[in-house]
């Protein structure tokens, strides 16, 4: 009975994503991994005892997300600081196994100080629930912490200025899997200019030599793009199943 209830719950979330449920039912229940899939790279090293180095002040280190967030709130390393309402640092479980990384805050995120809100945030929540995760159980952040004007893509120098903050967030959270949502986030984290349609479905690893971390990284479409292109949700579902496989391999 519990298994049937769990299957019904996941089917409801897939329907909320407007993904045909039968796509995942030929061999497995929705959200469960294919037993023939590659388990992916090994789990990352143990959580470091000290915070990662930040660009704010150059030599400063942070032992907690709270301390890092306070430094980010006072950051003026790039021009984005001049137009922000507030920084959008991150939200969720500070010890999450899965970390979601997008590109930049939008207007509503800038107003509320929280990443992935509005319709795109609601779809992201449904995507997470489809593989048995919750918004509160993952950690969500962006490549840059301030909203670019008119929601344009972050400039290279803006991403470079914010990069140490993101590296520090990853080092403090120490997720088992990272999900890069959208072209900008995927290309930045992977260090590639390949279109996202060709990036997704491939195996990547986030590496930080200084921290000694190697974390499996999954590329998928941004929820805002999926709202505009609903037919691509089927491909996103395949990416989500890959995330589930990697998480189960780490258990």
Partners of residue 220 on adjacent β-strands: 181
How many structural domains comprise the chain? 1
Which CATH number goes with the domain that contains 92?
A: 3.40.470.10
Q: Given a cut of 90, is residue 29 above it in pLDDT?
A: no
Confidence band, pLDDT 50/70/90 cuts, at residue 17: low
45: in domain: no
pLDDT, residue 27, reads 30
Partners of residue 204 on adjacent β-strands: 217
38: in domain: no
138: in domain: yes
| pLDDT tens sequence across 154-200 | 999 999 999 999 999 999 999 999 999 999 999 999 999 999 999 99
Residues in the chain: 251
pLDDT, residue 213, reads 84
Report which of residues 98 and 209 the model is more confident about: 98
The mean of the pLDDT values for the chain is 83
Report which of residues 24 and 172 the model is more confident about: 172
Least confident range of 9-13, 47-51, 76-80? 47-51
Q: Given a cut of 80, is residue 37 above it in pLDDT?
A: no
221: in domain: yes
106: part of which helix (H) or strand (E)?
A: none
pLDDT, residue 4, reads 58
* Start-to-end CA span in the chain (Å): 24
69: in domain: yes
Contacts 24+ apart (CB under 8 A), 8-14: 9/129, 10/129, 10/130, 10/131, 10/132, 13/126, 13/127, 13/129, 13/130, 14/130, 14/237
Partners of residue 207 on adjacent β-strands: 214
Q: What is the DSSP string of 19-69?
A: --GGGGTTTS-TTPPPTTS---SPPPPPPPSSPPB-STTSS-B-SSHHHHH
Tokens of 193: 């200019």
pLDDT, residue 55, reads 45
Q: Given a cut of 90, is residue 84 above it in pLDDT?
A: yes
Q: What is the pTM of this model?
A: 0.80
Least confident range of 47-51, 88-92, 182-186, 227-231? 47-51
Over residues 230-240, the mean pLDDT reads 96
pLDDT, residue 3, reads 55
Highest-scoring range by mean pLDDT, 7-11, 53-57, 133-137: 133-137
Tokens of 186: 């995927």
119: in domain: yes
1: in domain: no
Q: Given a cut of 60, is residue 18 above it in pLDDT?
A: no
Over residues 60-88, the mean pLDDT reads 94
15: in domain: no
Q: Which residues span the domain enclosing 117?
A: 52-249
pLDDT, residue 251, reads 77
């Amino acid at each position: 009975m519990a298994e049937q209830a769990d299957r019904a719950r996941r089917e409801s979330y897939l329907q909320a994503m407007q993904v045909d449920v039968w796509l995942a039912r030929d061999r497995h229940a929705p959200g469960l991994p294919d037993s023939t899939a590659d388990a992916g790279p090994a789990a990352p090293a143990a959580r470091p005892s000290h915070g990662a180095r930040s660009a704010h002040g150059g030599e400063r280190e942070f032992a907690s997300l709270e301390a890092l967030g306070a430094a980010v709130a006072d950051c003026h390393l790039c021009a984005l600081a001049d137009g922000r309402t507030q920084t959008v640092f991150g939200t969720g479980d500070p010890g999450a196994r899965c970390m979601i990384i997008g590109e930049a805050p939008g207007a509503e995120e800038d107003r509320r100080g929280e990443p992935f809100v509005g319709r795109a945030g609601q779809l992201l929540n449904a995507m997470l629930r489809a593989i048995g995760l919750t918004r509160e159980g993952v950690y969500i952040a962006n490549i840059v912490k301030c909203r670019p004007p008119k929601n344009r893509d972050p400039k290279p120098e803006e991403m470079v200025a914010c990069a140490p903050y993101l590296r520090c967030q990853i080092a403090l959270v120490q997720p088992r899997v990272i999900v890069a949502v959208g072209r900008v986030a995927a290309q930045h984290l992977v260090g590639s200019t390949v279109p996202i349609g060709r990036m997704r479905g491939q195996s990547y690893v986030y590496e930080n030599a200084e921290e000694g971390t190697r974390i499996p990284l999954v590329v998928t479409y941004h929820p805002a793009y999926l709202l505009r292109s609903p037919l691509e949700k089927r491909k996103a579902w395949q990416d989500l199943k890959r995330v589930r496989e990697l998480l189960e391999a780490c258990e």
